[in-house]
Every structure is written in structure tokens, then in C-alpha cells.
Structure 1
């Protein structure tokens, strides 16, 4: 079984995860955050990339044993999906954020069959908006979504509510708690700031530093 705590430490060592002790980052959702995870960078590190691929494949096999197709959510989920599909020897496709405005107007690129069960992969789950839209696009084309997988989630209550409302199962390789524990153990985050980062998770829309 892959050691996800070691993966978390590598994300911190390579500064793929960044902390701000004052000020904030802004997410696409409008949330202000003291932490930023740029997981697109992981594909530039072969050993880390492989560890993440194996961990995601293990997670998908355990939680969605009937999966027949791996789908990447454009754009950050596409390379992760390609790596996992190769690891699991499964077909792969990707889902655009919206249909093309030319050609056949496709939103889903790849081959799907009537009885396929699709697992969508994204790098990060925040409030779940983009991956839910991608999963709904698969459903609207008449195919089965077995579930959603990602490298990391902040664990916001909005995410759970949005996924529950949309009716999708989901899970992540790393949790916010995993990341904070690794940061604290490795002296990337003091005990004083640890409390503030936990508070951010419980009320992300009310966060203001």
C-alpha cells in the first residue's frame, strides 16, 4: 500500500503546497485561502508522479472495482487520468469544460460503450463544481459514472453537500488533515498556525487574514 504521508511530505518539500502566514490566495470559487496546492507540478517529478499514480490506482481498484474507463477532467485531470489508465491498463478519455464550438461539438473526447462505468479523475477537489459538471456531461451522454477520484481535497462541507446533491461518490488520495499533519511534523507549519489552518477548513467562506 502506498504511503500517502510520504507523498504529502514530498509535496511540501517541492513547494507544490504553499502556505501564507499573512494575506491569502484566491480560488476560482471566490474562497480566500491561506494554502495553495499547485498539483499540476507533480507531473514534472517522475518518482512523485509514479507514487501518486500507484496510489490513485489502488484507491480506484478498492472503491470502484467495476470501473472500465478512466476519464480526465480538463485540464489538470488529463495527465493524471492518462497515467492511471496506463497503470490499470484501462481505456482513457477526457471531458472538456464545455462542448467544442466547432466540428462535432464534442465535450467528451474518447470512446465509450453502452455498459462502461467511468471514474473521473481531477487533481484537486475544492467545492466540486468543475468535476460535477464533467460527471454530469458523461451522464447526459447516457453513460454510467462509477465515481470521482482526486489527489487531494480540502474537505469543505460544501464539497460533500454538492456531491451528495449531484449523487456522485467521491474520494481522494490525500486529505487536508494528512497535509496539515505532514506539515506540522516536518516543521513547515507551527502549532500556532496549525489552529488557523484548521479553522479555515471549517469555515472557508468566512476566512479572512
Structure 2
């Protein structure tokens, strides 16, 4: 049986099992349509599923080179599974949202960087569902340049995918499907004309090509920032060629100053916990600021504000520490709601301060869920002039290239301490997890030669960053 005859057979089978419906419907893109393609029913018809997967493989995939299939959740998953078996190729699964427990993965399966994955989808209107899957796969370091589709509704989806560097091939176009159904008296010529008229006049909205922030160099991201501290930090990193943040968790101000004199040239940011210093004084703050100017680094007070707005305002600007007078930026939780950002924004109306909003933590067993992280990112979007970036562990946490990902919990060798702090290697946090600024504490502070160790971290982290933006991941 030739290709056209097999397509005709499939079209008639789809009509017979009510996978092609005529009437008044609304697509995911919000478009009103007189025809609707519903492949969810095919799970009850194994012969039809087998025919679809066979045609996709024989006529669209047999000569292609690829390592994996990934079906767009959820309708295309059964087809992707059958294709995987027929082609003897591995399959990956994308979750619509990451689990809040266990591995917390978005992409399930075993895969390696720079291997090629083909997307499998049932119907394309605007292409938005395909692009959501493409984004998550590319975020994992996979190459995604091709999608195979059962039906192209011919309403702009193919063009949207091509604009995002994804080529699309389909078994049917809507025009071809309608032609087959009319020729076989499944629908009248009048219905066929109405559908074709609809296709000529109604198009899906364009999907803007996605920008992967982790591939953009720091100097270009300066232009994309709205927060003044983020602009400064991007500039410092690009100029000094360092994305190392030193966490000075020492209780002696003298020891902190001595340490910064040794390592200041290697860092872009110093992170303090001011309330653990036992000999705090105004003179210490003066010396800290002078070193920041001398070595060109910024100061982050890791206060992790988490109270109601009024209390946070006082904690930030009053008391013996007067954090607002010397810290370039601070950390804060979203736990208490938007009032915390309103308070900090009121105290920083000069536009010269910044906030790293805490979206994820590196400690084992922390209670932050995927939903909490998403809500934190949405909340931050309301304060573009205040937010410098996010304290987080994954590049998928946010997409805005003008913001900075600050990732703690890093040592040259991955391990875990006695208090549940989980450490990752520089390669993992920069190349895989998308960190822009990497926080190192005990790996340098507790070293016998902090200056030499800081230089090693600086060089290692910067090489990882340069490898990332060059796109030469191995």
C-alpha cells in the first residue's frame, strides 16, 4: 500500500473513531474553529495508534539522525512510546511541572549533553505546546531542532516553530485531511469549503522566539537589566572576569578584613552575615566599603528578611547595623508576602539598592516547593527596579536575562556537611544549573591558603562560564 493510500486509510479511521470533529470549538490558542482534532481517543484503538506510529516512522523519521524521542504531554506520549519501540531509540518524558519531592526533575530519563531529541506531537496550531517542551529540553543541554506532527492545522504553527529553530514535518495538513474526507463522502463539499475558508482567514498568534539567558554574555545582559545593582554586578564580572562570591562567615571583623585584603581581587561580590560578628563597629563598615572600592566588588548582606513589611523596613534601616547605609544588596524571602518588597522598595527609592529574592535553597530537606518558587518569581516581576536576581539552584527558575542567578552550596568536590548543606561542583552549578554568580564559603575561608584557593575557584568558575556562553558543552 503506497503512502497516499495509507494516509487515506488513517484519515478514514480517525473520522470513524470520532478523532476528527466538526462543529464549534476553541483551541488552546483561543481560536474559534469549525473543526477539532482530538487524538485522546486513540488510546482505545491500538490498531490506529500502531498505524500512526508506523507512518510517522516510515515516512518522516526513517532517514533522520537522532538519539531520543520526547512526546508533548500528554496526548502525544502513547505515540512517542510506540515510536521509541519501533525505532529502537530511547524516549524522554517531560513533566508539565516538576515534582515537589524526590529528584524534582522536569525531564525524566537518561540523557547526555548535546544529544539530539525529536519532538512528537499530535496537532499544531500555534506551536506553543511544542515550544514549551523544546524549551525544557534545551534547558537540559539537549539539541532540539525537529518535530514530527500528525496534523498541521496550517494556521502559523509551522512558521512559529521555524522562528524558534525547530523544523516541522507532518503526516497531514488540514487541507489534505479535509480533501480526503470530502472525497470519501465523510463530510459535504460545503463543510469542506467552510473549513478551507476558515483556514485562509484565521491564523494563530506569533510565538516570540525564546531567549536562553544562560547563553548570553554578562556584558550584553547589562543592557537587559532594570536594576542598577544588577547592571553594576554584570559589569564587574565582565571587567574582572570573575563570577565568584565569597561568603565571609566569620565572627571577627578583623579576620574578615584580613581575608578580603588577600582575596579581594578574585571576587565580584562579598556575602556577609552581619549579625554573627562579635566585634561589629562603624569602623568595620568603613573598612569593608573601602575594600569594595579598592578591589571593585559589591557587598551582599545575607539577612534573608522574612517578617512583615513594617518590621523589615526597621530591620533594614535602623538598629545598630543600619544595613541600608552600606549593603549594595540584601536577600529576602517571599514567605510573608508582597509587603516585604513594598517595604524594601520604599527604603530604596533612590534606585541604588537591590534584592536577591530567595526562590530555592541548597539545604537538604528544605520545605520550598515548585509552586512556592513559581509564586516567588511572579511576585518579583512586579518590582523590576528593585530585584537584582534570585537565590536559586536551577536555570529553569526564571528566564529574564536581566536578572542574576546567585547559587550557593559550591565546593570543588561535591559533598554534604553535618548540617545538611549539600555541595555541588562548579561545573554542575554553572554549566548544568545555570548559575551566574557562585557563592563559595568554607572552601576558601577554611583553607590554609585562602588567596590561592580563591584564585583556583575564580579560574574554574570563569572557565565554566566561558564554556557555557560559547555553546561548546561536551
Structure 1: segments with no counterpart, 5+ residues: none
Counterpart in 2 of 1:203? 201
Counterpart in 1 of 2:446? none
Structure 1 residues 130-184: Cα deviation after superposition (integer angstroms, max 9, x where no partner)? 1111011111111111411121121112x13311221111111121122101110
Tell me the secondary structure at the aligned position of residue 86 of structure 1.
helix
Moved over 3 A (4+): none
Counterpart in 2 of 1:135? 134
1:82-93 equivalence runs, <5 A = 82-93=81-92
Counterpart in 2 of 1:60? 61
1:84-123 equivalence runs, <5 A = 84-123=83-122
1:9 matches 2:12: yes
Query: 1:18–1:36: 8 Å Cα contact kept in structure 2?
Result: yes
Counterpart in 1 of 2:169? 171
Structure 1 residues 164-208: Cα deviation after superposition (integer angstroms, max 9, x where no partner)? 2211111111211221011101212222222110011122259xx
Tell me the secondary structure at the aligned position of residue 197 of structure 2.
helix
Counterpart in 2 of 1:153? 152
Structure 2: segments with no counterpart, 5+ residues: 205-474
Query: 1:40–1:123: 8 Å Cα contact kept in structure 2?
Result: no
Distance 1:184 1:97 in 2: 37
Pairwise CA distance, 1:114: 2.6
| TM-score using structure 1 length | 0.89
Tell me the secondary structure at the aligned position of residue 98 of structure 1.
coil
Query: 1:73–1:96: 8 Å Cα contact kept in structure 2?
Result: no
Tell me the secondary structure at the aligned position of residue 119 of structure 2.
strand
Distance 1:8 1:169 in 2: 24
Pairwise CA distance, 1:69: 0.8
Counterpart in 2 of 1:18? 21
Q: How many residues align?
A: 200
The one of the two structures with greater contact order (alpha-carbon pairs below 8 A, sep at least 6) is 1
Distance 1:75 1:61 in 2: 24
Query: 1:32–1:205: 8 Å Cα contact kept in structure 2?
Result: no
| TM-score using structure 2 length | 0.41
Structure 1 residues 47-76: Cα deviation after superposition (integer angstroms, max 9, x where no partner)? 2111111011121224xx211111111111
